Amino acid sequence: MLDWNKIKTRSTELLGEAGKKFKQYTPESFSKEKKFVNSLVVSMALMTMADKKADTQEIITALDLIKDIDEINDLNLTTEAIELYEFHIEAMSEVVNNPTKWILMEAKLLSELGKMKAYPEYPPMIEALIAHIAQSDGHLDDTEVEMQRKILSAIK
């Protein structure tokens, strides 16, 4: 007899692995809306991992935000945005104990955010969302304040 749960889990893993490899960075051919979604997800992942640990409340807040953002829903990108967020959280978690790799990953992601400078209508939304995530666990520490500054510097 087939174990449908095992099949579903494995297919989800395979689809996720394949998709993550292609969705990691935003191609220049993406529309400005897709670039915004990508930047939003990258910003939320950076904010979640600002203190170099994945806090459950921050992750739940980010996932809820992804599901509630009209621009993501209108483009039917909710599933992709969630997968991309998970990809970035996992990737950052893997390098958190290696200062050199952490700095390189952070720099790549912040560089990716620089694509938002061409669209001045989006940075205020990103700023509001990262502030919400930073405070979702009940406190705002210095590392989160510094990450907010880095993200805002990258997008403005």
**Distance, CA of 36 to CA of 119 (rounded, Å):** 9
pLDDT for the residue 8:
57
Question: Does residue 18 sit within a domain?
Answer: no
Q: What is the pLDDT of residue 115?
A: 86
d(CA 103, CA 43): 15
Residue 42: the pLDDT is 96
Question: How far is it, in rounded angstroms, from Cα 115 to Cα 35?
Answer: 7
Q: Domain total for the chain?
A: 1
CA 123 to chain centre: 15
Predicted local confidence at residue 94, as pLDDT:
93
Tens of pLDDT along the chain (156 residues) come to 445 566 556 556 655 554 444 445 555 556 788 888 899 999 999 999 998 988 888 888 889 989 888 888 888 888 999 999 999 999 999 999 999 999 999 999 999 999 888 889 889 989 998 888 888 877 788 998 999 999 999 998
Quick check: is 5 in a domain?
Answer: no
| 127, part of any domain | yes
Distance, CA of 34 to CA of 25 (rounded, Å): 11
Number of alpha carbons in the 13 Å side-chain half-sphere of residue 107: 6
| Structural domain contains residue 132 | yes
CA torsion 88-134-80-37 (nearest 10°) is -110
Q: Is residue 6 part of a domain?
A: no
Quick check: is 4 in a domain? no
Asked if residue 109 belongs to a domain, the reply is yes
* Parent domain of 107: 31-155
CATH code: domain of residue 110: 1.10.3680
Give residue 145's pLDDT: 92
Q: Does residue 102 contact residue 150 with C-beta atoms inside 8 Å? A: no
